[in-house]
């Protein structure tokens, strides 16, 4: 997973990563927001969901330091440009992505 993940975030187009857990209430709130963002931005962005329970090693990587879920991170060309925990409204996400 780690090698695939690194390849993915090194993309020229923005990659939004959602670290989530199946048991997490706020994560369930975030799911339709991410679907809406993907529908609006289409192929200009990649959105990846990472289940923290199945990817402990990735979550605990010093580079990412995911402490709570949901945690969203935005990458472009391998660089983390933005990170936030908790539910992020669609309009705010769209603005952050468009400001890249």
62 belongs to the catalytic site = no
Q: If you search the block for the tokens 């391998």, which residue do you land on?
A: 78
- Active-site position among 16, 27, 30, 88: 27
Burial per residue of 18-33, b for 16 or more beta-carbon CB atoms within 10 angstroms, e otherwise: bbbbeebeebeebeeb
Tokens of residue 80, six digits: 């983390």
Q: Using the Cα atoms of residue 74, residue 78, residue 79 and residue 84 in order, give the sign of their dihedral.
A: positive
27 belongs to the catalytic site = yes
Give the C-alpha separation, 98 to 100, whole Å.
5
- Active-site position among 8, 11, 24, 94: 24
Looking at the annotation, which residues are catalytic? 24, 27
């Amino acid at each position: 997973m780690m090698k695939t993940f690194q390849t993915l975030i090194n993309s020229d187009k923005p990659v939004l990563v959602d670290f989530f857990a199946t048991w997490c209430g706020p994560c369930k709130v975030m799911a339709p927001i991410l679907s809406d963002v993907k529908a609006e931005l289409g192929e200009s962005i990649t959105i990846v969901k990472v289940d923290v329970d199945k990817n402990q090693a990735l979550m605990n990587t010093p580079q990412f330091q995911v402490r709570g879920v949901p945690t969203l991170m935005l990458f472009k060309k391998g660089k983390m440009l933005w990170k936030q925990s908790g539910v992020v409204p669609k309009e705010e996400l769209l603005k952050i992505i468009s400001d890249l």
